[in-house]
Amino acid sequence: MRVLGIETSCDETGIAVYDDELGLLSHTLYSQVKLHADYGGVVPELASRDHVRKVVPLIKQALADANSTMDDIDGVAYTTGPGLVGALLVGACVGRSLAYSWDKPAVGVHHMEGHLLAPMLEDNVPEYPFLALLVSGGHTMMVAVEGIGQYEVLGESVDDAAGEAFDKTAKLMGLDYPGGPRLAKLAEKGETGHYRFPRPMTDKPGLNFSFSGLKTFAANTIAKEPDDEQTRANIALAFEEAVVDTLSIKCRRALKQTDYTRLVIAGGVSANSRLRTSLAEMMKNLGGEVFYPRGEFCTDNGAMIAYAGLQRLKAGHTEDLGVKGMPRWPLDSLPPL
């Protein structure tokens, strides 16, 4: 089976073609970073309009790169949610219309299931069951995964997600959008020991996350300290260490609770090198293994949607002719395969 995947949940237009025998045949991505940079964050209406401009040319490019025509495509997958509803509807309308005109089945994909399955695009893939830490700009979730669609959400963010806290703190420091990667880059110049930030909710039982207070702590620290490059780097490092330690502590707690030995990290923040190093060292000490997608598949992309959609289509899951976008969509409400 060969599937065309379409991702338009936020500020990146991602298109890919995935074949269940040959693997990933093509993937194209257009980022709207420059479009939103002047505003310091994503403007939903501008994001939707840009998806309208880019989605069809990128589909043509992805099909050409995969040496495929509509006759070679066996199904179309597109992100239904969660995300910005206007952006979601662009991909859903185009994807469902293509499937109808090509007389092919279509399936809507859960954006976070796409991230969760992104490590399956690599050569070294995890076996089920495993623990998944999903960390992105909009979500921080700890999920016990028994199989595709067999998800138990063990914990999630009660306010700001980890990626959102990175971006907001970077903005407080005067860093350009997108701030998260720039804050991590600045932290590389930081010196340890100057600041100690709290590790939120690690002194309480449970696996939920809260990063809003950490952002406020960072704001107060920035306001009272000198505004020079080294001080900002030291603050950035202390903030990053706090986030990484918090995520690591929660992962260790969840692994003990589930008795799993495999950990998957995915989502935009999973590209953070300090987080990867910390979790890799932790899993080595525990005698387990950590899995994550390559950098280009950590952020939003069409490849993960094509892969997840292919699994759903092979199991017989299809959409009717209706088109919907779901800004909120609980991951654990998905049907198992």
Q: What are phi and psi of 161, to 5 degrees?
A: -75, 165
| Annotation: binding site for Fe cation | 111, 115, 300
Q: From the centroid of its chain, how far is CA 55? A: 20
Q: Which residue has the tokens 């020079």?
A: 228
CA 203/CA 216 separation, integer angstroms: 19
DSSP string, 193-248: TS-----TTTTSSSS-B--HHHHHHHHHHHHHS--SHHHHHHHHHHHHHHHHHHHH
The amino acid occupying position 110 is: H
Q: Residue 88 in contact with residue 9, Cβ under 8 Å?
A: yes
> Cα separation of 189 and 211, whole Å?
23
The SS3 of residue 81 is: strand
List residues forming the annotated binding site for substrate: 134-138, 167, 180, 272
Q: Which residues are annotated as a binding site?
A: 111, 115, 134-138, 167, 180, 272, 300
